[in-house]
Amino acid sequence: MEINGAHRQAAYPVRFEWGPTGATASAQGAAYAVVVDVLSFTTAVCVGVERGIAVHPFAWKDGRAQEYADRIGATLAIGRHEARRLGGGLSLSPAGIAAAEGVERLVLPSPNGSSIAAALDDPVAGPTVVAACLRNRTAVARHLQGEAAITVVAAGERWPDGSLRPAVEDLWGAGAVLAALVDLGVDGLSPEARVAEAAYRAVESDLAAAVTACASGRELVDGGFDEDVAIARELDVTDRVPVLAGGAFTHPA
């Protein structure tokens, strides 16, 4: 796909973009790509890493997922609703991962954040991929402080026709990381990144209510997954920074 050079935001050391195509465009030349999928991939990754679980991102609806999980000795996550129907099993639910016992490796597919992270995972030519959410946004900013080129990617969601649905909770999550960078003295944000930062600061004083009330939050609450929303809306509760290396997100030693 041919992408206009201006859309890569290469003139700015700190960039912001949306979805898989935006991730590919803005990550060119970046040292780090920060993926943000608040409800729920990167929150699930963060909770897993807090529990000492190595989380492997995987493209959504790729039939090789079970084979891959078997090969590396990992548990394969299933859909939230499927896990509920079966009465158990790990899924994208942060609450479920928080309660998991005896899990060392987890293959966690998702249509948005996981697919983006997996696509960006190129140890030779790609940026280092970091999973960020509200829970670890300041820890991530501290980890990135001093890096020359950073892109922050809001994963977004999908409409039924497969097109990108910009999800406001991911805008806030990305903006939270960007605001933390600014508060640490980082400058050089692109105009797009400044807008994301401003969006976060606009709801910062009532963040939990905003995450619960937004469309994605309401969808999960209405579906009976309110505990997942409660975990996702917690701000700065961990110092874990999930970094993708060797195919898995873990906290750097």
Average pLDDT, the chain: 95
Residue type, 213: A
pLDDT at 136: 98
pLDDT for the residue numbered 139: 98
Residue 1: per-residue pLDDT: 62
Could you read off the pLDDT tens digit of each residue along the chain, which spans 253 residues?
Answer: 677 878 889 999 999 999 999 999 999 999 999 999 999 999 999 999 999 999 999 988 788 999 999 999 999 999 888 888 888 889 999 999 999 999 999 999 999 999 999 999 998 889 999 999 999 999 999 999 999 899 999 999 999 999 999 999 999 999 999 999 999 999 999 999 999 999 999 999 999 999 999 999 999 999 999 999 999 999 999 999 999 999 999 999 7
Nearest 10 degrees: Cα torsion 192, 208, 135, 200? 20
Chain-centroid distance, C-alpha 125: 21
- From the CB of residue 165, how many other CB atoms can be counted at a distance below 10 Å? 17
Domain segments of the chain as ranges? 13-43+112-245
85 contacts: CB under 8 Å, gap ≥ 6: none
- List strands edge to edge, sheet with 32-36: 14-18, 150-154, 32-36, 128-132, 243-245, 248-250, 54-59, 105-110, 75-76
Q: Does the domain at residues 13-43+112-245 carry the CATH identifier 3.60.20.10? A: no
What local confidence, expressed as pLDDT, does residue 22 receive?
Answer: 95
- % of the chain residues with pLDDT over 90: 87
3-class DSSP assignment, residue 63: coil
